[in-house]
């Protein structure tokens, strides 16, 4: 049987090609394949039924033309458990996070040894919408507007308390920022396990004030006269409730909201994140999408691009951390 001669030049070329392929970044290899080729897993780092979960499901539903997106709730740790699972997931575009201000900024700061960096370990594909907080009071509180309530709080702070959805939430920060800006440190913070129980106690008069996220339920209570929204903690009135003034117009700086959006592990290929960002931008420009969000009390951000989203999170961290520190909240 004749012995087959081995072409050494062919062998060398083949070995070099194999070595080169091994040295290529994973993101480059991923970029050469069609995306998405299989369902995408979207981790919502909270239990079902909240603002972030509702927003994530609306986004996933509107992205059907792009690909199949399966929502998976991983609650716990103020959003850090679910966020950590995505931060350490394979950066192939098939595991995404629907994160927010809390999961990316507040919750990691409040941990002495956070399992991830909310900015460095992620790429913000698109921060889509914001759920603003509000200054809400029981109708029996003698203040018809925010200006009157500020004066009332300054002379009655020792007898005032405010409810929040829990320690370390944006609703807590909204209350503390109100105290800082109005020089009313004597107002007592009463944390609840979620917004629902706090709203019930404000309506019944157990607690006179609350700083909840503006949802369709809160707006319904306001319109029914069960509670009074004095102002939304935003720079401008909400399109869903243009008759309610923005707190920043009366008390400059009183802007606190929960901004939600899509993030991916930091090493995800730009070819993938660009596609996701472009698709998200396309649906954000649709009137139906904005209407669906407003029905849940959310406002679409004016710029949902990657660059704007990354810059927004960085700026929010710089703005919110001093508020947290001044409120006496330290990493545990």
Could you tell me the domains of the chain? 40-130+258-326 (3.40.190.150), 134-249 (3.40.190.10)
Among candidate residues 51, 296, 17, the one with its CA nearest the CA of residue 169 = 51
* C-alpha distance from residue 142 to each of 156, 180, 182 (Å): 11, 22, 17
- pLDDT means per 10 residues, the chain with 332 residues, are 44 38 41 82 93 92 95 93 97 97 95 96 97 97 97 96 94 97 97 92 97 93 97 94 95 96 97 96 91 86 95 96 92 86
Burial 294-328 (b: 16+ CB within 10 A, else e): bebbbbbbeebbbeebbebbeebbeebeebbeebe
**Cα 300 to the center of its chain, rounded Å:** 12
The pLDDT value given to residue 162:
98
Q: What does DSSP say about strands 40-44 and 95-100: parallel, antiparallel, or unpaired?
A: parallel
The pTM score is 0.85
Phi and psi at 90, nearest 5°, equal -65, 130
For residue 156, the model assigns a pLDDT of: 96
Max Cα distance, the chain (Å): 105
Q: Which of 237, 241, 264 is nearest to 250 (CA)?
A: 237
How far is residue 213 CA from its own chain's centroid?
A: 12
Model pLDDT, residue 33: 66
């Amino acid at each position: 049987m004749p012995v087959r001669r081995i072409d050494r030049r062919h062998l060398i070329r083949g070995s070099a090609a194999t070595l080169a392929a091994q040295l290529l970044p994973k993101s480059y290899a991923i970029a050469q394949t069609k995306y998405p080729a299989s369902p995408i897993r979207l981790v919502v780092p909270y239990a079902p039924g909240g603002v972030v979960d509702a927003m994530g499901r609306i986004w996933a539903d509107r992205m059907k033309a792009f690909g199949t997106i399966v929502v998976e709730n991983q609650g716990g740790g103020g959003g850090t458990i679910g966020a950590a699972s995505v931060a350490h997931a394979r950066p192939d575009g098939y595991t995404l996070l629907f994160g927010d201000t809390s999961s990316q900024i507040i919750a990691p700061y409040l941990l002495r040894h956070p399992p991830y960096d909310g900015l460095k370990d992620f790429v913000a594909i698109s921060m889509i919408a914001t759920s603003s907080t509000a200054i809400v009071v029981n109708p029996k509180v003698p203040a018809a507007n925010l200006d009157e309530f500020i004066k009332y709080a300054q002379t009655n702070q020792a007898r005032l308390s405010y409810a929040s959805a829990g320690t370390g939430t944006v609703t807590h920060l909204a209350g503390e920022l109100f105290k800082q800006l109005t020089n009313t440190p004597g107002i007592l913070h009463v944390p609840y396990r979620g917004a629902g129980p706090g709203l019930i106690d404000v309506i019944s008069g157990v607690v006179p004030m609350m700083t909840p996220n503006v949802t369709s339920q809160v707006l319904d209570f306001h319109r029914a006269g069960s509670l009074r929204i004095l102002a939304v903690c935003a720079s401008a009135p909400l399109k869903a409730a243009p008759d309610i003034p923005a707190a920043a117009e009366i008390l400059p700086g009183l802007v606190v909201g929960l901004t939600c959006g899509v993030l991916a592990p930091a090493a995800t290929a730009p070819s993938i994140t660009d596609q996701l960002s472009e698709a998200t931008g396309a649906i954000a420009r649709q009137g139906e999408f904005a209407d669906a969000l407003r029905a849940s009390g959310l406002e679409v951000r004016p710029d949902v691009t990657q660059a704007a989203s990354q810059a927004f999170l960085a700026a929010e961290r710089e703005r919110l951390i001093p508020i947290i520190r001044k409120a006496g909240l330290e990493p545990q």
